[in-house]
Structure 1
């Protein structure tokens, strides 16, 4: 897959139908997802995709929800405010 100009890769976490996990993961890969982690027993997976492909992932049959990954930066332990 080639990256479109102005379309940065983003991390996503998806909940999918656990009874069709492998089938849905294959469809997500075809829709442009690079899978970075799978939790079949929970029916969840994580991966990266370009922003312009987000609607294609949501449209895959078997996707129950999709969230963008968020990064939280904590202050160092010796900082004055915790």
Structure 2
């Protein structure tokens, strides 16, 4: 029996070399990234990957940064704190 639990999938936002966007995105897909959004003119994209695979994304030539997505929860409009 195995004690390994499934690795958590996390959202990431990446900045890549815009001059090589298509090639870098393909390399990211090969590394296991599921792309959820692309902004080629800005050289950014978003996706989902197993958390333990993030270092493999950072190692790809043309990747400038990899950041985990963050969730911000705003208070309801009728909340006394605004």
Question: Shared topology, TM-score over 0.5?
Answer: yes
Where in structure 1 are there 5+ consecutive unaligned residues? none
Structure 1 Cα separation of the partners of residues 23 and 57 of structure 2:
14
Where in structure 2 are there 5+ consecutive unaligned residues? none
Larger radius of gyration: 2
In the alignment of these two chains, the number of paired residues is 79
RMSD between superposed Cα atoms in Å: 1.1
Question: TM-score, normalising length from structure 1?
Answer: 0.92
Structure 2 Cα separation of the partners of residues 6 and 80 of structure 1:
41
Partner of 1:32: 32
The alpha-carbon deviation at position 33 of structure 1 amounts to: 0.3
Question: TM-score, normalising length from structure 2?
Answer: 0.92
In the TM superposition, structure 1's runs of 4+ consecutive aligned residues that sit over 4 Å from their partners are none
